[in-house]
Structures are given as C-alpha cells and as structure tokens.
Amino acid sequence: MTSTDAVTRTALVTGASSGLGADIARELAADHRLLLGGRDASQLGALAAELPGAEQWRVDLTSATAVAEATARIDRLDVLVHSAGICELGSVDESDAGQWRRTFEANVFAVVELTRALLPALRAAGGHVVLINSGAGLRANPGWGSYAASKFALRAFGDALRQEEPGLRVTSVHPGRIDTPMQRAIVASEGATYNPRRFLAPATVARAVGNAVRTPADAHPTEIVLRPTGR
C-alpha cells in the first residue's frame, strides 16, 4: 500500500470499531486517509461508509503472523494511533495469571509488535505514534492492578521509543475515565449506577489527539493528561 500523494497523510487507528477509537478516526478524517483497525466487520463497515476514503483494516493484533502480513503492504505511515485495549478488574488476590497475560497481550505486547512492524513506514514519513494510555498509567488503585501495570508498561514503552527514534514523535495520552461501552461494562462490574456526566466524552479525548497530531513540527507533544470535570 503506497502513498503516492504527498499531500494526503495516512493514519492507522486501532480499536476503531467503537468508542474512543471510532471518535479518533472521525477526528482525523478531515485531513488523513484512514485505515480502520478492529475486528467487528459490521461496525467497521458502518464507520468506513461514514468516512469517505476510509478502509477497513481487520487484523488480529495478538497474532504476530497476521500483523506481519498486514503491515507488509504499508510502506509509509504518518500516524499510528494505538486505541485498542482491554480492561479486566480484580484484586491481586482475585486475579489469576490468565487475566494478567490477557491484559498484557492486548495492552502491551500487541502495541509493541505492531509498532515494530510499522517502524520502517513510520520512519519514511517522519511519523507520529499516539499511545492511548490511561490515568491508570500514572497511578494504581485497588482492584486495577493488572490494568494499571499494563498501562505503566505502555508508558515505559513510549518513553523508550521516543528516545530511540528521534525522527518520530511519540505521544502518550492519559485520559481519565471515558463514556464508552467499555466504561459501562466496568461500572456494571463495580455494581454502581452509570452516569455519563461523570466521565469524559470520547469526542473530547479525540480532539486532544487531533491537536497533538496537528501540532507544528517544531514541537513534540510528549504527554497529555485529561481529567473529567463533571460538566
């Protein structure tokens, strides 16, 4: 997949099927050719139909073979947004090794492998890697051990990548809790009543991502922290 138009920038957004990833894709659609990463064909298809020129990019990110095959067709990439991830709650006593493995596989190992596979394409474009992290990547709370540990690891990965690849920009985004389907599932597991006003709107976080991506080249937005105001 070769970008021959020097004006058109290409962005790959993982987790674009729904929630924050879909809103990030909408935010970048105005000035980027989009590759929509995700597994749900119907949701990706609907989003692709909404965003002219966008393409579905259905890849199992936990399969190194699938990632290698899919990325081999991309020789230039301006923006890579890692928005896919999972969250399983439980105390250290309650969470078994399987939960920790699943969480790190989705939130860390898949991110690392996809980034590694796309480094030549990112270098060719002088590209930008955006890591959707979390407030849990800055502090750990009871019951959030495996998730927070994966996000701390993701932050360390971004810090290392930023220093190792000076030709790229690497931004870690640490939003507070966001009004998404995943959040509804988390609140249900907590046994609480869902109130969307308590959380950030996905479009707000997506706009912050868009602002980072569009920051002029003389600046490097390394870290963004967002907290909900309840308004």
216 CB-near residues (< 8 Å, 6+ apart): none
Place of tokens 């073979």: 65
H or E, element range at 86: none
Q: How far is CA 60 from CA 70, 114, 150, 194, 195, in A?
A: 10, 11, 19, 31, 33
194 flagged as catalytic: no
Among 140, 185, 176, 138, CA closest to 158: 138
Q: What is the identity of the amino acid at 218? A: D
Catalytic residue among 147, 152, 157, 199: 147
Residue 210: Cβ-neighbour burial (10 angstroms; 0-12, 13-18, 19+): buried
Known catalytic residues are 147
